[in-house]
Amino acid sequence: MDLQNSSSGGGPPVLKEKRAASPAPSGVSMKSDASMMIPPGFSSGGGSSGSRTETQRGASPEPSCVSMKSDQSIIIPPDFSSEDMTSDPHEKKKNFSRKELDHIFKELQEKFISLVKNELNTFKNLLNPDYPACSEGEVEDGQKEGVLKVTLHILRNMNQADLANTLESKLAPACQRKLKSKLRDKYQILNEGISGHVKSALLNEIYTELYITEGDGGDVNQEHEVKQMEAASRKKTTQEKPIKCNDIFKPLPEQKRPIRTVLTKGVAGIGKTVSVQKFILDWSEGEVNQDILFIFPLPFRELNLMKEKKLSLVNLLQSFFPETQDLKPRHYKSYKIMFIFDGLDECRLPLDFQNNENLVNIEEQTSVDVLLTNLIKGNLLPSALLWITSRPPLDQQQSVRSLLSVLIR
């Protein structure tokens, strides 16, 4: 089985849509009459003469709300003097002195340190086995997410990846745990045999590690984010570099950038799909690759059935994984996620990389073919990991040739 791997160096650069320049404000001039707030008119019936100067009222045991007939109830328009007005808003900006800036930033520093201390204490408690899991409401706190990203980055730089992964998993949306549970239930049992003679067994009890090597003949492109690997039932040679299935996204020594896309090829029955299932099972059981928050297996055989549909990437994932209904679009970008496309040789989609429109919005509806080409090219979710499996030869389909040309460009 041959595996080709594309690194993003942190992922290909995110394509940013250009925004048109904002038109000049069309608000009413603050000097015009239209800018003044007109006080409401009050009828004089049943009350005083309507004079705005009448302020005396008798004591009342009722709640001391302001009477609508008193001059306190009138909305007084702001007093705009002509010498204070200017057509240039920049002229009204305050120039801070060094002393004022020092005071402001001292207060900012105190608040920032207090915020970080509070959040770090929360994170420390979450890593304590006796501490209850946090509620999903806590995860939605924008301030917490910002501090969390910095904390995870520093922990991993301190070579404390296990702590970082555990913390990130505890603070992940609840749907992540639901997805892991679903995938664990789905892939822990392996069914073998033909119709009428199917045998079931626990995958962990019968799995044999597939022998995977990097591609032959210089298929590893050292300057790009592609690694090709081969899995086969043959004896090891001195030239081959065996790679464990769970390590396929770890860069080879000669590669300069992290791996983003892996293409694994192998003859029918060699164990490509079983290796995919084992990878997912180990992840769902918390064994390995816990820095990945979500794994979405999408077999080409099932994607073919959605060929004529129009939907967004978010809609596509929700149709396959209803557990992710509560996953917000920002989560797809802020968390490390992985897509597994099994059976490229079975793909019946055009995968027209040359002519398909570019797409960067994961909520924009289009064809499944456009979604896949933009996901593979890195326009959609450029930091996401991709694992694609296929049977050789890879040059029999135009869509496969197009895919290879994109991966090794």
Q: How far apart are CA 405 and CA 224, in angstroms?
A: 12
Read off the pLDDT of residues 284-315 as tens digits, 9 standing for 90 and up.
998 899 999 999 999 999 999 999 999 999 99
More confident residue, 254 or 104: 104
What mean pLDDT comes out for the span 246-253?
A: 85
Q: Over 80: is that where the pLDDT of 196 sits?
A: no
| Tokens 């492109």 -> residue | 221
Q: What is the pTM of this model?
A: 0.65
pLDDT over 90 (residue 126): no
Q: Is the pLDDT of residue 20 over 80?
A: no
How far out from the chain centre does Cα 360 lie?
13
Q: Tell me, what DSSP letter sits at residue 285? A: T
Q: What secondary structure letter does DSSP report for 392?
A: S
Residue 10 has pLDDT above 80, yes or no: no
Tens-digit pLDDT profile for residues 155-188 = 888 989 888 888 888 888 889 999 999 999 999 9
CA distance 366 to 6: 25
Query: What are the backbone dihedrals phi and psi of residue 302, each rounded to the nearest 5 degrees, phi first?
Result: -85, -35
pLDDT in tens, 140-150: 455 677 788 88
Cα 180 to Cα 289: distance, rounded to the nearest angstrom = 13
The most confident of the ranges 39-53, 85-99, 136-150, 255-269 is 255-269
Average pLDDT, the chain: 74
DSSP assignment of 234-253: S---TT--B--GGGTTSPPT
The listed CATH number (3.90.1150.10, 3.30.360.10, 3.40.50.300, 1.10.1740.10) that belongs to domain 2-10+175-407: 3.40.50.300
Q: What is the mean pLDDT of residues 33-50?
A: 45
> From CA 351, how far away is CA 181, in angstroms rounded?
32
In which element (H, E) is residue 123 found?
helix 98-126
Collapsed DSSP state (helix, strand, coil) of residue 339: strand
pLDDT at 52 over 60: no
Sequence ranges of the domains in the chain? 2-10+175-407, 100-172
Residue 369 has pLDDT above 80, yes or no: yes
Q: What percent of the chain has pLDDT over 70?
A: 62
Buried (b) or exposed (e) across 166-187, using 16+ Cβ within 10 A? bbbbebbbebbebbbeebbeeb
